[in-house]
Structure 1
C-alpha cells in the first residue's frame, strides 16, 4: 500500500513526532534522514561534473586533440555556457515534477555525458559530453539536493544544508588522488566508463530515498514568497550578485588551470592533488560552521565576511613557493567554498521564500554557470597573453577582500 502522509514542513527539531495516516506510521526522523542521505549522495556524485574532476583530464585532452590552454578553455566554456542557458528552463521543472522522476532523468543524462566523453573521437565531441556533465553534474545534481533541503527544512535549514553539502568535499578529497593514480595505470577513457557505471548503480538508491515523500509546505519563516520575475525587479539581487558569484568564479578558474598553478609554483601535480584533502576538510569545517552561524545570525549577516579566507588564499598563491604553502592555499579556498555552498542554499530562501525556490535557484545557478564559464577562458587568455598566474592571483585576492565589504551589506536592507 502506498502511504500518503499529510503535508508537513520539517524543521529538524521535532524528530520524535510520529505522523499517522491511513494505518501507516511515519516518523519525521525517518523522512529527515532520507532527505539528508539523498542530498548528500547527490552532491557527492556531482563530482564527475565538477571542474576539479574534469580539469584533471586537461593535459590528456590537450595532448590527444592538439589543443592549447585557450582553445581547451573556450571549448569548456562553450559547453558550460550552454548548460547555464538550459538550466534556467530545466531547473524550474523541479517545482512541478515529482522529485524521484526528476532525479531519474538527471542521473540518466549524466551517465550519457560520461559515455560521450569516453567515446569522443575528436575535440568537438567533448562539447556535448562536457555539456551534459556540467548541466547534470555541476548543475542539476546540486540543484536537486539544495532545493530539496531548502524546501523541507526551515528552523534548522543552515545545519541541514551544511550536512547535505558534505558530499562536495568528500568527492574533492577522494576523486583527484584516485584520478591521478588511475591515469598512471590506464587510459583516461576507461575512467569515464567507470563514472557512467557508478551513476547507473547510484540511480536505484536515489529513487528509493526520494519516492513517496510528503509534499513540503511553504516556509512560514519567510516574510515573502517572491516569483522569479519579482526577484529580477529587486535591486538587492543585483547588488549582491558580485559577492555570491565570486567564489565559484575564482575556484573554477584556478582549479581548471591547476596544471599551470603547479608549474608556476613548482608544486608537483601529485602534491597539489594531495592538497585537495586539506581543501575538503576545511570546506567541511567552513560549511558546518557557517550552517551553525546561519541558524544563529542569518545568511544575510554573513555575506560580508565569507570571502575573506579566499582572498588570503589567493595572496598565498601570489607570495610563495614552499611546498607547505600549497596546503595553506587550498585550505583557505576550502573555507570560503564551504561557506559559499551553505550560504547560497539559505540566502535565497531567507530573502524570497520557498514557494518558487526551484525557479529562483535555477536562475541563480545559471548566472553562476556563466561566471564559471568565463573564468577558464579568461584566465587562459591572460596567461597566453603573458600574465603570470601569480599576478592574476594578486588581482583576485584584492577583489575577494574588497567587494564583499562594499556590497555584502545590501542584503540587510529592506527592498524599496
Structure 2
C-alpha cells in the first residue's frame, strides 16, 4: 500500500507543480462559467460580516456533520436497526457509487447553472434517505440511505469551492476556503460528540434521522435567502 502511495506522489507532484507554473492568471480571474462576477473581491473579514455567508453555511456544513455523526455511531445504529455489520459495510459500496455519480452530475450542473443554484436542491436526496432510515428497518433501507447520502455528498463536493468563488471572487479565495474548511472540520468533530450525548440521553436514532432530515430540508430556504441577498447586492 505504501509503495502505491509513494508512486502516486512521485507521479502527481511534478504534475501539480507544472499546473501551478503554467496557470493562466488572467483566465483564472475570470468568473466561473463566464457569468457576470461579483462587484469586488471580498476579503475574509468582509465575508464574516456578510449575512449571505452564514445562510450558505447552513447547507455547507450539513453533509460533513451528518455523515460523520452517523458513520461514527454505525455500530449502535446497526444494533438499533437490527441490521448486520456486513450489511452496513456493503452499503458503503452504494455510498461510494452514488457519490461518484453525484460528483459527475454536479460538475456539469455547476458549469451550466452555478454552484449556488445546485446547492438549493443538493441536500434533498439526503433528506429522503434520512426519512426512510427513520421510518423503516428493512435491510434494503441501509443501501437506500447510504445511496441518498452519497448523492448529496457528491452534489456538495463541486460546490464547496465554486460557491465561494462565485460570491466573493478569487483574489482572497484561499483565505476564505481556509475559513470555511475549518468550520466544516469543526462540524465533523462536533457531530460524534453531540450525537453520542443525545444517544446516551435516551434519544433514539429515529429522532436523529428526522431531525437531520429537517435540517436538510431547511437548507433549501437558507440557500434561497442567501442567493436573494447576494442578488440584491449585485443589483445595488
Both proteins in one fold, TM over 0.5: yes
Structure 1 residue 233: Cα displacement:
2.0
Looking at structure 1, the residues matched to 226 and 58 of structure 2 have their Cα atoms a distance apart, in angstroms, of: 13
Structure 1 residue 271: Cα displacement:
1.1
Structure 1 residue 216: Cα displacement:
4.0
How many residue pairs were aligned?
221
- Structure 2, unmatched stretches of 5+, are 32-36
Structure 1 residue 283: Cα displacement:
1.1
Looking at structure 2, the residues matched to 399 and 407 of structure 1 have their Cα atoms a distance apart, in angstroms, of: 10
Higher helix residue share: 2
Asked if structure 1 preserves the Cα contact closer than 8 Å seen for 2:130 and 2:213, the reply is: yes
Given the superposition, is the C-alpha separation of residues 297 and 215 from structure 1 closer, same or farther in structure 2, using an over 3 Å criterion? closer
Q: What pairs with 1:305-324 in structure 2 (closer than 5 Å)?
A: 305-324=121-140
- Structure 1, unmatched stretches of 5+, are 1-193
Structure 1 residue 197: Cα displacement:
5.7
* Equivalence for 2:23: 215
RMSD, aligned α-carbons: 1.7
What secondary structure sits across from 2:166 in the alignment? helix
Looking at structure 2, the residues matched to 202 and 290 of structure 1 have their Cα atoms a distance apart, in angstroms, of: 26
Which of 376, 382, 404 aligns to 2:192? It is 376
Looking at structure 2, the residues matched to 323 and 385 of structure 1 have their Cα atoms a distance apart, in angstroms, of: 27
Looking at structure 1, the residues matched to 144 and 162 of structure 2 have their Cα atoms a distance apart, in angstroms, of: 28
Looking at structure 2, the residues matched to 331 and 215 of structure 1 have their Cα atoms a distance apart, in angstroms, of: 37
Which of 281, 303, 309 aligns to 2:119? It is 303
Looking at structure 2, the residues matched to 244 and 251 of structure 1 have their Cα atoms a distance apart, in angstroms, of: 12
* Equivalence for 1:404: 219
Q: What pairs with 1:325-344 in structure 2 (closer than 5 Å)?
A: 325-344=141-160
- Of residues 281-290 and 212-221 in structure 1, the stretch that sits farther from structure 2 once superposed is 212-221
Which of the pair has more CA radius of gyration? 1
Looking at structure 2, the residues matched to 253 and 314 of structure 1 have their Cα atoms a distance apart, in angstroms, of: 13
Q: Is residue 179 of structure 2 the alignment partner of residue 363 of structure 1?
A: yes
* Equivalence for 1:129: none
Which of 218, 229, 236 aligns to 2:52? It is 236
Looking at structure 1, the residues matched to 3 and 73 of structure 2 have their Cα atoms a distance apart, in angstroms, of: 28
Asked if structure 2 preserves the Cα contact closer than 8 Å seen for 1:282 and 1:331, the reply is: yes
Looking at structure 2, the residues matched to 198 and 316 of structure 1 have their Cα atoms a distance apart, in angstroms, of: 39
Q: What pairs with 1:82-101 in structure 2 (closer than 5 Å)?
A: none
TM-score (norm 1): 0.51
